[in-house]
Structure formats: C-alpha cells, structure tokens
Amino acid sequence: MSTATTTKSLNDADLSLEAPKTEDLAALLVSRERPPRPSALSASITFGWRAMLKIKHVPEQLFDVTAFPIMMVLMYTYLFGGALAGSTEEYIQFLLPGILTMSVVMITMYTGVAVNTDITKGVFDRFRTLPIWRPAPMVGYLLGDVIRYLLASLVMLTVGMIIGYRPDGGIGGVLLGVLVLLVFAFSFSWVWTMFGLLLRSEKSVMGVSMMVIFPLTFLSNVFVDPKTMPGWLQAFVNNSPVTHVATAVRDLMAGEWPAADIAWSLGWSALFVVIFGSLTMRLYNRK
C-alpha cells in the first residue's frame, strides 16, 4: 500500500502535476534583503564544489584521470624500459616522475572542452549575470580540475610503486613534487580556458589541444636525457616548461632540491596565469 502511494506521487512529479503554491511563493518574495557578495575565494570554491558535484553525477568523466594514466605508465615502462635503461626497474626510476608530468599536463586539455561545452548552455548566462568576482567560474573549473590531477597523480604513483618505483625523497619529496606539478597544471590550464572560450566547437578545441600538447610534452626530457638530441632540438627541449617541471618533480621525488628548476617551473606558471588568465577574462567578459 505504501509502495503504491510512493510510486503514484513519483509519477505525479514526472508528469509535473505538482502545482506551484503561489501563496508560499509570495511569502518568499517579501524579503528584499541581500546578503553581502561572496569573497573571490568563496565564490571560486563554490564553483569548485560544482565541479565536484558534476563528477559525482557523471563519474565516467574520471576515466581520463584513472585508466589513461595507468595505461601511460605501463605502456611506456615496458615498451622503452629494456631498450633505454637496460631494465624496466631501472627505467621506471627515471620515467615515472616524467610520465606523471606528461600525463597530468595532457589531462589539462579537458578543461578547454569542459569550458566550451558549458558556455553553449544557458547556465553560463546565469553565472555571468551574478554580481560575483568575474574570474570565479573559471577558477572554479580549475580548482575542480586540480582534484582530478591529484587523483591522476595518486593513481600513477600507486601503479609505479607496484611495478618497482622507489622514490628516495620519501613521502615529503613525493608530495613536494606533486605540489609543483599541480601548481604548474593549474596555471597551464588557463591556455585551455582561453581556447575553450575562443573556439566554436568542442571538436576544434580538441584539435588545437592535440596540436599544442603533443609536441610540448614529447619534446622534453620525459623519456630520455636530451644529450643525444641534435643541437637545435636540445635548445628547445632544455628550455621547455615541461622539461623544467619534469626535472623539478623528478629531483624532488629523488630527495634532491632542484632550486633552479623549481624557480623555472613557478616562473612559467606565473607567466601562463598572467598572459592566458587575462586573455581568458577578456574573452569571458566579451562573450
């Protein structure tokens, strides 16, 4: 009997027969008081919470931060390990921090796709009519993405440990390495928020992302020491932000203190935020 009642009322809701109660509504409208506007931080965190809710409702979107990184670690370790370092155990000590950097930097490109699909929906218009700190929706995306990057890092480190990675830096070194990587990934993501706003379709965002991400991540010291590369390539590789970040992460996890590479990584991060952050906000305000 009670089951029948529940089913019935659910069906009613399905048919939207539940009518609005205009008297209750009138009572709710009486108050004209408005709370003070939220701080920039609080608004950004609220948007980050939105990203978490979306993960909760659409957990499939975690595929790219779980399955993909596992594949990267296993594939490159067993593909190159024997040839490049004599054994996979040897190679993974060198490769894991690099492949971690590469994978997380690659995953950042989904930010652009997310921004692009979101702006085609009406909810974006609502956000833009709110009296809040303007970059908050964008920062919110990136905060949500930082959680994804963290998850990817955790997954890769776990898989790495299982197949023989032994970081000399211990927990402290590993955490510092991940921190540098997250700061860089957060900053670098502003490139994608810009493309997400600039380009018309999700497909074109993907296309441009691939064009940027493949050369940027492969032309680095992630897989091999650049010494055997031709001079012109070394010039590029040694100055690439990905190389600096990969080196910083690798050395930190190995228990060293790569001051120069940390400084370069943070410098590049600041540059990305300043340039692409302001371009993003320009596009956002004009859209």
Q: Which of 41, 123, 233, 260 binds another protein (CB under 8 A)?
A: 123
User: Smallest distance from the beta carbon of 7 to another protein, in angstroms?
Assistant: 12
- Per CB under 8 A, 3 contacts another protein: no
Q: Give, as ranges, the residues between 64 and 93 that touch another protein (CB under 8 A).
A: none
Contacts with another protein by CB under 8 A: the residue count is 50
Pick between residue 13 and residue 162 the one whose CB is nearest to another protein.
13
Pick between residue 17 and residue 162 the one whose CB is nearest to another protein.
17
Q: How far apart are the first and last CA of the chain?
A: 54
Distance CA 58, CA 64 (A): 13
- Per CB under 8 A, 46 contacts another protein: yes
Pick between residue 26 and residue 171 the one whose CB is nearest to another protein.
26
Q: Give, as ranges, the residues between 14 and 33 that touch another protein (CB under 8 A).
A: 14-22, 24-32
* DSSP per-residue codes, the chain: -HHHHHHHHHHHHHTT-S---HHHHHHHHS----PPPPPHHHHHHHHHHHHHHHHHH-GGGGHHHHHHHHHHHHHHHHHHHHHHHSSHHHHHHHHHHHHHHHHHHHHTTHHHHHHHHHHTSHHHHHHHTSSS-TTHHHHHHHHHHHHHHHHHHHHHHHHHHHTT---TTHHHHHHHHHHHHHHHHHHHHHHHHHHHHHSSSHHHHHHHHHHHHHHHHHSSSSSS-GGGS-HHHHHHHHH-HHHHHHHHHHHHHTT---HHHHHHHHHHHHHHIIIIIHHHHHHHHH-
- Per CB under 8 A, 54 contacts another protein: yes
- Per CB under 8 A, 125 contacts another protein: yes
- Per CB under 8 A, 35 contacts another protein: yes
- Applying CB under 8 A, which part among 44-52, 165-173, 230-238, 249-257 lies near another protein? 44-52
Pick between residue 61 and residue 66 the one whose CB is nearest to another protein.
61
Pick between residue 57 and residue 227 the one whose CB is nearest to another protein.
57
User: Smallest distance from the beta carbon of 13 to another protein, in angstroms?
Assistant: 4
Pick between residue 119 and residue 181 the one whose CB is nearest to another protein.
119
Binding residues for another protein, rule: CB under 8 A, are: 9-10, 12-22, 24-32, 34-38, 42-43, 46-47, 49-50, 53-54, 57-58, 121-123, 125-132, 136, 286
